[in-house]
Structure 1
Amino acid sequence: MAFNLADLFEHIADAVPGREALYAEGRTLTYRELDRRANRLAHHFAAAGIGAGDHVGCHLMNGPEYLETMLALLKIRAVPINVNFRYVRDELRYLYDNADLVGLVYDTEFAGRVAAVLPDVPRLRHLLAVGPGGDLPAGSLRYEEALAVRPDDRAGFPARSADDLVIIYTGGTTGLPKGVVWRHEDLLFGGMSAGAEGLTAPEDAGPRAAAADPLVMFAAPPLMHGTSVLASFITFLGGGKVCLVRRYSGDAAVRVIREQGCQTMMIVGDAMAVPLLEALDALDADTRALPSLRIIASAGALLSPAVRARLGAHLPELYIVDSFGSTETGHSGAGMDGNRHFTVNDTTTVLDADLAPVTPAAAWWARWPAAATSPSATTGTRPRPPAPSSKPAASAGPCPATRPRWTPTAPSASSAAARSASTPAARRSTPKRSKPPSRPTRRSPTRSSRASPTPAGGSGSPRCSSCTPPRTA
């Protein structure tokens, strides 16, 4: 029984083909339409010689093309790589090289930056440009033209594996970006755990989504941020609709939430909550309500008490959740009371400075106890799945924390809140094994051996530099 993200999406698309899956800037795609466009792109990549284990960068703003590209690559067992669109020449040169990119799907807005880096990354051989614009790097093909000449069926796609990979690059806020290597199955149960709750067999994904009351979720952060991608896939797993804006602003958030009836919103801390509040402040008292919005979940940065209070004043019925995790850990816990009290999940153990288990209120370190091996790949040596090792790894190492308070049992919450709250920022540790009841064996991801060992900022960071929108507040 193999849990593969592409297989799961296809099961869901077959079960709810006419249901709306994606909205972005006035454009809506059903599950059938999204699946068929991803099929076309997958056939294009395959014809270009891109296949299992090859790394392809997603250098894109938020839009349908980002998720289409991810799905297309997963369908042919290739590996999507998130690229921070704020990076300039030297940063892009580092990431393109470190990630061993052989292909790149890029927004034409960044054509100049891509052209400047190409001479330094000879491995990068296939370019696909999204959007208008005439001055493109040599060899670039147009995205829509590439799709138009390919079939929209699934014929010829390879059999997939739970060991197929996704790599999520950290933001590099406190060191060089690192590529964190996840097996599909581990990312499903570690990074998308609420979306996979109760899922015992891959073929159950379709009927499960068909029976669900679908949520409409606004993924506010850039998709190049792991938080937004994982939130999107959690929504897909429930047969819900993902809403996107190309560039986040408070006004855009209010517009999308109202137009699409968004029930949940994923953000990254105060940097994204404050523009929403400013937009609400600017409205007349009679027009400030967002009647559909029930949940705001923050991952990657904590919401400050002052911002929580302002959100509560504007939206008294709002359920606010802070998720705890990192790119290298997946979802580790959540705080829901506004007092920085976090409840850890069943794969997290709190240790003291001597790495001994402690009781609540004495925590210095967070550690994820497990002992399974990860794929022996790094972002410097392109993994060719499946190649899992069967040797047990050494025990996991500690991950610095900031004296978190925690409770041993989770507070009750609605299923909708739990689904949104479970989107992590990520997963960090050395290889390990965890085998929850009735779930497949989980493996932790592998961190790039070529990247800096300095950890990137986690959910305790005051702000997320990779997705902080320009603002004056």
Structure 2
Amino acid sequence: MTRQLEPVRLQATTLGDLLLSAADQAPDHAAVVLPHRRCSYADVRDRALQKALSLQALGVGPGDHVGLLLPTSMDFIETLFGIALLGAVAVPVNARYQPPELAYVVDNADLKVLLTTDKIAEAVDFVERLNQAFPDLRNSEARNLSLDGAPGLRHIVVFGSSRPPGTWSQEEFEAAARQGNLAEIHLRRLQVRLGSTALILYTSGTTANPKGCMISHEAIVRNSAALADRYELTADDSFWSPLPLFHIAAILPLTAIFAKGGTYVTTPYFEAGEALRMMEAERVTATYPCFWTIMSDLVSHPDFEKTDLSRIKLMNANFAVQPGGIAEKMKAALPNAVFVGTFGMTETAGTVTTSQLDDAEEKRFTRLGTPLAGMEVRAVDPETGEDVPAGEKGEAWIRGYSTFSRYYKAPEKTAEALDGAGWFHSGDLISIDPDGQLMFHGRLRDMLKVGGENVAAAEIESCLQQHPAVKLAQVVGVPDERLVEIPAAFIELQPGQAAQADDLIAFCRERIAGFKVPRHVRFVDEWPISSTKIQKFRLQDQIRAELGI
């Protein structure tokens, strides 16, 4: 059962005031540490206010949508809070998106301003991707932007040393702050409601395009504070997160440690050797690797056993849903750590359930914990809407302060996911033990989980079916030791047309993010069909048998 709730008190504020309060309490305390850069809370506050002034000068006001197409960086963190201080809405954009995906999100999210960088991160040239997404950008005026594919976009800002056509340079953007009004910013900040939207985070669903989850200030701040309380974090803690900041599982630990006035430790991109060096040098006490791919890279790195990780007291390891073999290595390397499991998603602003620190190790290693204070979870028979017996599998229905408000511009999808009583029908298959411990068993819907990223089969199928030789594409998930699951595509070709597997893979690589690209392609002349639908489970059985899985 969950712990007694009587002593729990609400911790709710806006995202902007979360930063200001931390800076009030300990302005000189380290807030963020990146390789070769360390910023205090006063530094982050001052830089966030400067970015708010610049955005204000570009016409951004309460409720406007501002996109962040940036790698993990101080620019990202400062702008995220600057947007919140204005009462505007931050829209982090997945840095892996290919030009068609990027064009869709910029337009669908109704971005007024988009901020990016001219720095090449993990071989990604963001400016070039924008030019491919919007071919008329090169011939546009920065101060009178008018793009065919994104009519609402008024400004693109490029951090760095260059000024590509159609954009504002960093120098111009920062100079614009002189035109801002600080008193006006604080007035707007104090008018922001806890229920106002702070973030729109795009996540893949069962449709061809990702959906924008509208997350309120209350949802992200209270969820983070509740997580920090569950993990007993304090201002003395350093919380390491390797995930990119466009991901909810990176924003969550950032705001969780800010709620306690501690230090957030991260890198622009994950590299195991650098991560190990930072964890040792920064005396990290809590870690949030979450996914098998990251932990696998850490334990297999030659420096892993030589690195002093003894100060780590907490790791969100999710051993219950990881491949075997890693738990013992982690236990040996982190002798003082408590390993916890966690269940959450974008639609819930992060965590729904996580382990109690005093749960028995067997529970923490084989289950994903109990709900945070104020959150409810049921395992429901989706056909009847009734709870299934304890220990049996059902769909996760979730209710509480941190569930998303709605999907942006998708009322039909919102109605499918949120019912009149406030329950979010997640599409995840779970079981709940008699003592309230949750376990995840997969997805009811047609989704894949590739290296921690949600991927809709429909999105890959839609891409493949744009190829002139493809008549019909069906995508299934195949187990993978490193990524947990990878896409495999079955293709029926148009009569008289020909294509090779490599052709179709290359076609996808130009249009969708690399983690969505099928790793296997098989051609079929006949589909396994029930009375009305293609039986994907038979396709999955076929490819598993062929691969010896």
Q: Please say which of residues 102-111 and 396-405 is displaced more in the overlay.
A: 396-405
Structure 1 residues 16 and 372: alpha-carbon distance in aligned structure 2, compared to 1, 3 A threshold: closer
Alignment match, 1:16: 26
Q: What is the CA–CA distance in structure 1 between the aligned matches of 2:244 and 2:423, rounded to whole Å?
A: 31
Checking the alignment, whether the CA contact within 8 Å between 1:36 and 1:153 is kept in structure 2 is no
* In structure 2, distance between residues paired with 1:314 and 1:70: 35
Q: What residue in structure 2 maps to residue 113 of structure 1?
A: 129
Aligned to 1:267, the other structure's residue is in SS state coil
Of 290, 293, 297, the match for 2:316: 297
Q: Is the 8 A contact 1:348 1:366 kept in 2?
A: yes
1:332 aligns with 2:339: no
Q: Is 1:321–2:340 an aligned residue pair? A: yes
The 1-side partners of 2:63 and 2:329 are apart by 46
The alignment-based identity, stated in percent, is: 22
Task: Answer whether contact 1:89 1:117 (CA < 8 A) is retained.
Answer: yes
Offset of residue 261 of structure 1:
1.1
- In the alignment of these two chains, the number of paired residues is 398
Contact 2:54 2:175 in 1 (8 A): no
Match of 1:43 in 2: 53
Change beyond 3 A, Cα 1:3–1:197: farther
Instruction: Give the gaps of 5 or more residues in structure 2.
Output: 1-9, 121-125, 135-146, 356-362, 412-418, 439-458, 463-476, 478-482, 488-512, 516-549
Q: Which residue of 2 aligns with 1:426?
A: none
Higher gyration radius (CA)? 2
- Cα drift, residue 147 of structure 1: 2.9
Q: Please tell me whether the aligned partners of residues 60 and 105 of structure 1 are also in contact (alpha carbons under 8 angstroms).
A: yes
- Structural mapping, 1:37-436, within 5 Å: 37-108=47-118, 109=120, 110-118=126-134, 119=147, 120-132=149-161, 134=162, 136-142=164-170, 146-147=173-174, 150=177, 154-157=182-185, 158=188, 159=190, 160-172=192-204, 175=207, 176-190=209-223, 192-195=225-228, 212-279=234-301, 282-283=302-303, 287-298=306-317, 302-329=321-348, 330-335=350-355, 337-340=364-367, 342-345=369-372, 346-353=375-382, 354-369=384-399, 378-379=408-409, 393-396=420-423, 398-409=425-436
Change beyond 3 A, Cα 1:320–1:168: farther
2:503 paired residue number = none
Q: Are residues 229 and 236 of structure 1, via their aligned partners in 2, closer, same or farther at CA, if it must alter by over 3 Å?
A: same
- Equivalent residue for 2:547? none
1:447-470 Cα shifts (integer Å, max 9, x gaps): xxxx99x9xx9xxx93699898xx
Scaled by the length of structure 1, the TM-score of the pair is 0.74
Distance 2:433 2:514 in 1: 28
Q: Could you tell me how far apart the structure 2 residues matched to 1:332 and 1:372 are?
A: 8
CA distance in 1, matches of 2:424, 2:304: 52
Structure 1 gaps, min length 5:
199-207, 382-391, 412-450, 469-473
Greater relative CO (CA pairs within 8 A, separation 6+): 1
CA distance in 1, matches of 2:284, 2:310: 9
How far residue 40 of structure 1 moved from its aligned partner, in angstroms, is 0.4
Q: Give deviations 1:269-321, integer Å, cap 9, x for gaps.
A: 11111111122xx1385x23322222221579943332222212332333222
**2:311–2:336 Cα contact (<8 Å) kept:** no
Relative to 1, partners in 2 of residues 1:288 and 1:9: Cα closer, same or farther, differing over 3 Å?
closer
Shift of 1:375: 5.7
Look up the equivalent residue of 2:16 and give its one-letter code: A
Distance 1:320 1:172, change over 3 A: same
Cα 1:115–1:467 change in 2 (3 A) is closer
Give distance in 2, aligned partners of 1:464 and 1:24. 31
Q: Is the 8 A contact 2:381 2:388 kept in 1?
A: yes
Q: Distance in 2 between matches of 1:288 and 1:314?
A: 8
Query: Per-residue deviation at 1:123?
Result: 1.6
Aligned to 1:320, what secondary structure does the other structure show?
strand
Q: Which letter does structure 2 place at the counterpart of 1:172?
A: S
User: Is contact 1:127-1:139 (8 Å) kept?
Assistant: yes
The one-letter amino acid paired with 1:289 is: D
Could you say if the C-alpha distance between residues 167 and 314 of structure 1 is closer, same or farther in structure 2, counting changes exceeding 3 Å?
A: same
Q: Aligned-pair distance for 1:249?
A: 1.1
Query: Are the structure 2 counterparts of residues 407 and 124 from structure 1 closer, same or farther at C-alpha, using a change threshold of 3 Å?
Result: farther
Deviation at 1:349, TM superposition (A): 2.3
Q: Is the 8 A contact 2:238 2:265 kept in 1?
A: yes
Cα deviation for residue 327 of structure 1 reads 0.8
Q: Deviations over 1:223-271 (max 9, x none)?
A: 0111101110001000011112111011011011012111111123111
Helix, strand or coil at the partner of 2:335: coil
**Separation in 2 of the partners of 1:257 and 1:25?**
11
Shift of 1:7: 1.6
Code of the aligned partner of 1:80: A
SS of the residue aligned with 1:80?
Answer: strand
- Secondary structure at 2:353 match in 1: strand
**SS across alignment from 2:274:** helix
| More helix per residue | 2
Q: Which amino acid aligns with 2:381?
A: D
Q: More displaced, 214-223 or 330-339? A: 330-339
Return the alpha-carbon distance in structure 2 between the equivalents of residues 189 and 464 of structure 1. 34
Return closer, same or farther for 1:376/1:225 CA change in 2, 3 Å cut-off.
closer
CA distance in 1, matches of 2:129, 2:370: 43
Q: Which residue of 1 aligns with 2:16?
A: 6
Q: CA, structure 1 residues 183+103, in 2 after alignment: closer, same or farther (shift >3 Å)?
A: same
- SS class of match (1:404): strand
Letter in 2 for 1:343: T
> What's the CA shift for 1:334?
2.2
Question: Secondary structure in 2 aligned to 1:86?
Answer: coil
Is the contact made by 1:343 and 1:407 (CA closer than 8 Å) also made in structure 2?
Answer: no
